[in-house]
A = this chain, B = another copy of it.
Amino acid sequence: MPKKKTLKRYKHQVGKLKGQVKKLKSKLKDGVSTAAPSLVSPFAPERFPDLPDIAGVEFASAAAGIKYQGRPDVMLARLCPGSTIAGVFTKSSTRAACVLDNQAKLNGNPTSELGAAILVNSGNANAFTGHAGQASVDAISAKVSAALDLPATRVFTSSTGVIGEPLPHDKITDALDTLTSALSPAGIKDAARAIMTTDTFPKGAGATLSAKGGEIRIAGIAKGSGMIAPDMATMLVYIFTDATIAPALLQKALSAEIDDTFNAITVDSDTSTSDALILAATGQSTAAPITDLDQPDGKAFCDALRGVMTDLAQQVVKDGEGATKFVEVQVTGAKSAKDAHLVAMAIANSPLVKTAIAGEDANWGRVVAAIGKSGAYAERDLLSIRFGDMVVAEKGWRKPEYSEEDASAYMKQAELVLGVDLGLGTASKTVWTCDLTHRYIDINADYRS
């Protein structure tokens, strides 16, 4: 016969477990997920990529305690004398003070032959902070200028994080000694980490190309996860090259590549107040100067730059808040480039398409609805819809051979291609997006980002 004590223990355990079941059931009913906040994107690479060293750039990062504790939240990049700089920025009408300041500095000093610096903080966006916003930028610029012996007009800054709270810029300037003494060409990886907010992995990409007289190297880092629908610009991206290239030509190369890279991604259709991409060329390569983007070296440089930009942009989508699927939306056969863009973005931003993808549901009807609302010209009987290589609908209805089973099997893949041919013309557009999951709600309903 078992002991009374044993039975009591079991009884107690049953009571406890019943309570636990009740609690868990109620949590589930409320739709509350307890997914760990540190959950990492399934697309996170095993490790940060090896990036080529860019002669003439040094990086440092530090923990200034702006909002996050116990992690680096400030990064400094120093560029050697002779560096040229280009940039693209958000068109938001409520853009942050640092964005306005960078734009003014680039317009005012496009051809300076002096060195330069980039200082970035995470945890606070310094956006919608009134005149205090510019005062913070000025204070930081002045201190960096003094510390690195540069004109303040060559100090570029970015801030990312919560909007509307005054930036505690003293915390940043207090960290300057630590930063300047730590500057090193190898610091790019830690810099990529310091600029993260809701990102789950640091993002880097690089390229090396052969040119007349030597190699040209490109290395870039980016942050971005939510509030991603860039408009002529992007999140925060810093790309460095040792190429020798005049500022106007550098800007031209950058502007030529932006539409098919960072302006071709969306996570949640929300555009940030802080989007900025800064591209700096140190001129330290032994390769001959690039003087024409249509000549072989210029073309090769643009190709490599586009490669780095595409890689970084796709990493931002792969780290989209709550993303479990990476989706390429390919629109072809549009009457105009504008229509192709409208249709691609209507699909990529549709909450119903994105939740269907999250649920691995081959719900191509929602793609039809997104095309319909896009504002682009479309004719029902001419358009066709593909999941991967599988045509699911054409000539105005579901393909007779359509197999729900095959389509469902395809939807289980982590990386999906969703193709739409409008059957009207030759314009096309490819954009990248992710799915919309419970985790997006967790992150954004529970966390003030």
Contacts and interface: CB of A to CB of B under 8 A. Distances in A.
Contact of A361 (B95, B371, B448): B448
A352 B270 contact: yes
Nearest to A438: B31
Given A11-B10, A128-B368, A361-B445, A31 B163 contact: no
B27 A34 contact: no
Given A369-B270, A437-B445, A14 B24 contact: no
- Number of identical protomers: 2
A381 interface: yes
A396 B437 contact: no
Given A17-B21, A94-B368, A128-B397, A437 B448 contact: no
A49 to B, nearest CB: 29
A226 B368 CA distance: 15
Contact of A352 (B11, B32, B226, B363): B226
B445 A359 contact: yes
A69 interface: no
A129 interface: yes
A4 B377 CA distance: 77
A129 to B, nearest CB: 5
B165 A398 contact: yes
A365 B18 CA distance: 41
21 contacts: A13-B14, A17-B18, A17-B21, A20-B21, A30-B35, A31-B438, A31-B439, A92-B372, A92-B373, A93-B377, A127-B369, A131-B397, A132-B397, A164-B368, A165-B365, A269-B351, A270-B350, A273-B368, A273-B369, A361-B448, A441-B441
Interface of A: 1-4, 6-7, 10-11, 13-14, 17-18, 20-21, 24-25, 27-36, 90, 92-95, 125, 127-133, 162-166, 226-227, 229, 231, 268-273, 349-352, 355-356, 358-359, 361, 363-366, 368-374, 376-381, 393, 395-398, 436-442, 444-446, 448
